[in-house]
Amino acid sequence: MRKRVVVTGLGCITPAGNDVDSTWENLKNGIPTAGKVTRFDASEYRTKIAAEVKDFNPGEIFGVKEARRMDRFTQFGLFAAIEAVENANLLINDENRDRIGALIGSGIGGIETIQKQYSILKSKGHSRVNPFFVPMIIPDAAGSMTAIHFDIRGPNFAISTACATGTNTIGEAAELIRRGQADVMLAGGAEAAIVESAFAGMCSMKAMATRNDEPFKASSPFDKDRNGFLMGEGAAVLVLESLEHALERGANILAEVIGYGSTNDAFHISAPAEGGAGAIKCMEMALENGGLQLEQIGYINAHGTSTHLNDKIETQAIKTVFGDFAYAIPVSSTKSMTGHLMGASGALEALVLVKTLQDNILPPTINYTTPDPECDLDYVPNSSRKKENQYVMSNSFGFGGHNATIIMGKYPQENSK
């Protein structure tokens, strides 16, 4: 019998809201979050829209001095971790801090700091570069600042697998607990890449949506007329615990981590493998890891980026794995509302899985108006749906061929393993 891992706390900051309750309420109601880019002048860019976090003042939250020592992605990650710990009612003290760790990954890391400090280097000289420059940009900064904030001394490192980061982080954090290296892990992802350099790169790839005059309609996963992804930002963190630890402290158990899969396409630096071979193996691995049959999956939160190739290939992969049963599984993309949080997206979508299990509500895929013959599954179009599920799945796929799948289960389960 393998050690069981449960979810006891949730925290997030997203374009849909600066906490879990507001984010989930807006996702349930199909509220779009896109608008004109405000963080820099994007008027000359091919894409001029994004899904930004709003009304976030890190100086007020962390203090001006401390906030200046953190890149925006780290601020997001720590902010989400604080909410998750509070939500879990987790008391951290000298008796348990060595058994609590943090894995908060990032696909890109501190790119805003890189851009700002390079500008200072070129305009004012090397002596004016921030002495905290390097610690601020590394992808493990969100996890290490979280460890410092809570004085937790368990496993702490960063996973960076592009847009699969958040899902990989949660899956690997669960494995650390199963191996007995920690009792509790704060696991998730953080990203803040709405900056000129990253935006310009994505525009050059022609990967982003260009409905600049209709930003709310820009992200349209699985729709025939989709024309690119919408860049988002934010963070999500889950508190994971061994079941024994959670029961011993009387925690409110929200869900259970059931299955996890991770593969690589070994095909192309940005495009998914033809036919979705890596994604297929990843979903099959998660099902096998969780000891589940195909028919036990009641919902899939798709990677669903709103790019032509990704949505088509993910649909093919789901149909290959699930066969005819694929047409009976609701599949939705919350990126239609939040945009693509890149390294944080998988963590947010794992959080969404937990909320679907709690509330028996499936969030919709908004902006779905024109069916695509190549994308012919049930995408929960435009309105949320009531549905009780025992097991739910989320897919995340990233540049470099990274694939990650997580399966969450309702707790308690009818047939506990």
Enumerate residues 6+ apart whose C-beta is below 8 A from 123.
none
Please check whether residue 192 is in contact with residue 113, taking contact to mean a CB–CB distance below 8 angstroms: no
Q: Does residue 282 have an active-site annotation?
A: no
Question: Residue 34: is it exposed, middle or buried by C-beta count within 10 angstroms (0-12/13-18/19+)?
Answer: buried
Alpha-helical regions (H) of 206-339: 243-248, 277-290, 308-322, 335-338
Options 12, 203, 245, 303, the catalytic residue: 303
Options 203, 245, 282, 340, the catalytic residue: 340
- Angle in degrees, CA 209, 272, 307, rounded to 5: 15
User: What is the C-alpha separation between 69 and 53, in angstroms, rounded?
Assistant: 20
Closest CA to 9 of 77, 75, 73, 81: 81
Closest CA to 241 of 1, 3, 67, 2: 3
Q: Does residue 149 have an active-site annotation?
A: no
CA distances from 262 to 182, 312, 342 (A): 21, 20, 17
Contacts 24+ apart (CB under 8 A), 202-210: 202/47, 202/231, 203/45, 203/46, 203/47, 205/270, 206/46, 207/307, 208/46, 208/47, 209/47, 209/49, 209/306, 210/46, 210/47
Closest CA to 314 of 322, 324, 304, 323: 304
Q: Does residue 340 have an active-site annotation?
A: yes
Query: DSSP for 181-242?
Result: S-SEEEEEEEE---SHHHHHHHHHHT-B---TT-GGGS--TTBTT---B-BB-EEEEEEEEE
Task: Name the one residue in this structure whose structure tokens are 């005059």.
Answer: 213
User: What is the C-alpha separation between 55 and 3, in angstroms, rounded?
Assistant: 41
In the 8-state DSSP scheme, what is residue 340? B
Give the strand pairing for 385-386 and 361-362: antiparallel
User: What is the C-alpha separation between 94 and 237, in angstroms, rounded?
Assistant: 23
Which value, in Å, is the radius of gyration of the alpha carbons in the chain? 20
Options 163, 203, 282, 375, the catalytic residue: 163
Catalytically annotated residues: 163, 303, 340
